Amino acid sequence: MFAPFLAERRDRLLNLIGEKPVIMGILNVTPDSFSDGGRFLAPEAAVEQAKKLAADGADIIDVGAQSTRPGHTPVTAEEELARLEPFLGELTQSLDIPFSIDTSKAVVARRAAQLGVSMVNDVWGLQKDPAMAETVAETGVAAVIMHNRNSTDPNLEIISDMRQFFDRSLELAEAAAIPRARLMLDPGIGFSKTRAQNYAALAGLPALSDYGLPILVGVSRKSLLAESGAAPDEFTLVRTIAANLAAARNGAALFRVHDPAAHIAAFKVYDVIAR
């Protein structure tokens, strides 16, 4: 049994795309995420951060219970659920905002949908867990298909590799009868790419426009935004905003960020100029 408001919130989110830059606030309930690991692991801290993200104007909140940073330690589905279940159902009931679950495990995605989540953000683009595409179809959630690789290959032409990956993911989605209107693409910035490939992926977003799907970009606080060898405090908000404005110019429609309020202010100025 899935939450009765799942479809309404899903459609509310999908209807926003194209009307304005859609801001996805990040809520990591993990001990080891690269930027905020451990800060929101306790259920009460997670709830307070979700409320802050919503108050700051996030259009959707993306909840992750396993870090996907380079060198992360994989956790079981049981561990992900143990981190999510103490608060997620209460949170989706109390906040009238769509929620996304950042997972590549079908069992976690299904349980999250039962708890009221309206979207699955899969960093393996439906390809890691053979049951994921069917789960997305059955639950009725929207889905983010992110490009990823098992390893970095500096010799790749990254846009071609992304297209091959997306083609396979979309074949899986079609076979599972996921409506195309519920799908979006993510170039996977910071995932198994060299610095040059990450920038090429951002610059090459227009090459993905023929898919006719919204593009989500997640660059917030990532080390590739700083000068090579810079200290962690160089991974600044202004660099994140600059990258997201460039991504918007290249066709991105959704932006996964730690700082919704600052991005909303920046996009208001960008929108006036762009229109």
Residue type at position 121:
N
Token pair listed for 4: 């009765």
Residue whose C-alpha is closest to residue 17's, from 174, 179, 251: 251
Token output for 204: 């090459």
Query: Hey, which residues are catalytic here?
Result: 222, 256
H-state helical runs in 56-212: 77-84, 88-94, 106-114, 132-139, 158-175, 195-203
Cα–chain center distance at 228: 25
- Of 230, 212, 213, nearest to 221 by C-alpha is 230
Provide the 10 A C-beta neighbour count for residue 163.
17
What DSSP designation does 177 have? T
Of 38, 170, 47, 34, give the one whose Cα is nearest residue 99: 47
- Name the residue with tokens 């170039």: 187
